[in-house]
Structure 1
Amino acid sequence: MKAHNGMRPHDIVVLLKIIAFQGNHWLSKDLSATLFISPSEISESLNRSMIAGLLSPDKKKVMKNAMLKFIENGLRFVFPAELGAIERGMPTGHSAPVLKEFFSSSEDYVWPFPSGKSKGQSINPLYANQARAAELDRHLYDMLALVDAIRIGKVRECEKAVELLKMYFNGIYA
């Protein structure tokens, strides 16, 4: 096994996708196909997450409490969101459907995405194909948007995002 050289941003997406499978059986090839990440990178991601204590030793179960603590307390420092230009894309953070009903804002945030239907200030996604993967899985999309609310949001937005993320982690969907 390779040495652990730290987590990578897409490791968070891989773990959220495992949670989105809702306890259903999955294989590494399922993660690869639905996240548009190579099989070897999925394997390395699972190893890094297991070593970090975010995935069980059999690499099948996300350690949800540890994951939530990391997202809530460390994610914005380890993988900070960078604001970019106004672009067309997929809404994220407080602009995404999962949070839109709780907050009103004059500015929208998006992941740059050519087929996106919204326009707003771009936020760097955790990995290049994030919008493509989110487009195929509503639960993954919601969780990634909540993660972005934590990465870039104000206190109230972060608190609401953590509350909703806990529900998603427990199989209760908004």
Structure 2
Amino acid sequence: MKKHNGMRPHDIVILLKIASKENKPWLMKDLSYELGISASEVSESLNRSAFAGLITQNKKTLMRMSILEFLVHGLKYVYPQKPGSILRGIPTAHSASPLKKEIMSDESFVWPYGGGTIRGQAIEPLHPKVPEACLKDPLFYEFMALCDTLRVGKAREVNMAKEELKKRLL
């Protein structure tokens, strides 16, 4: 087993992609294809996540409570983000579902993406392929947008994101 040198941002992406499958069977090659991440990197990511206690050692069952705890208490510190320049992209954070129905705001946050639908402040996704993967999987999109809310949101938005993540993960 390789030495564990800490988690990487796409480890969260892979875990939440598994969560979006809602207990349906999955294969590493499917995750690789759907996320645009190499199969070897998916395998290494799952090894890191198993070492960290976020997935079981057999890499089949998510440790959902541990994932939620990490997202809520650590995500904004380990993978911080400051909104960038205004550009065209795909809505994220409170600008995307499920929070866009609850929060009225003049500022929009987006992942930079050429085929994007709105203009807003740029938020770097946890992995460059996240915007494309989210367009194909609505539940995964919600997970990733909620994670961005934890990374850049204000207190009220963060509390709402925590509750929404709890509903979807547990």
Q: Is TM (by shorter chain) over 0.5?
A: yes
SS of equivalent residue, structure 2 residue 116: coil
Which residue in the other structure is 1:99 paired with?
A: 99
Cα distance in 2 between the residues matched to 1:11 and 1:154: 25
Rounded Cα–Cα distance in structure 2 between residues aligned with 1:61 and 1:140 = 17
Render the CA deviation track for 1:70-129: whole Å, top value 9, x for unaligned.
Answer: 100011000011321111111001100211111111110000011110110000100111
Distance 2:21 2:101 in 1: 25
1:167 correspondence with 2:164: no
Which consecutive segments of 4 or more residues in structure 1 shift more than 6 A? Answer: none
Aligned to 2:47: 47
Question: 2:162 & 2:97 partners in 1: Cα distance?
Answer: 16
Q: Which residue of 1 aligns with 2:117?
A: 117
Q: Which runs of 5+ in 1 are unaligned?
A: none
TM-score by length of 1: 0.96
- Counterpart for residue 158 of structure 2: 158
Which residue of structure 1 lines up, in the alignment, with residue 108 of structure 2?
Answer: 108
Which residue of structure 1 aligns with residue 62 of structure 2? 62
Q: Partner of 2:40: helix, strand, or coil? A: helix
* Counterpart position of 2:71: 71
Secondary structure of 1:84 counterpart: coil
CA distance in 1, matches of 2:71, 2:98: 17
Q: Which residue is equivalent to 1:16?
A: 16
CA distance in 2, matches of 1:154, 1:62: 28
Residues 8-53 of structure 1: CA deviation (Å, up to 9, x unaligned) = 0000000000000110110000100000000000000000000000
Count of residues paired in the alignment: 170
TM-score (norm 2): 0.98
1:78-97 to 2 correspondence within 5 Å? 78-97=78-97
Q: Partner residue of 1:126?
A: 126
- Report the Cα distance in structure 1 between the residues aligned to 2:130 and 2:100, rounded to whole angstroms: 20
Structure 2: segments with no counterpart, 5+ residues: none
Identity %: 49
RMSD: 0.7
Look up the equivalent residue of 1:103 and give its one-letter code.
I
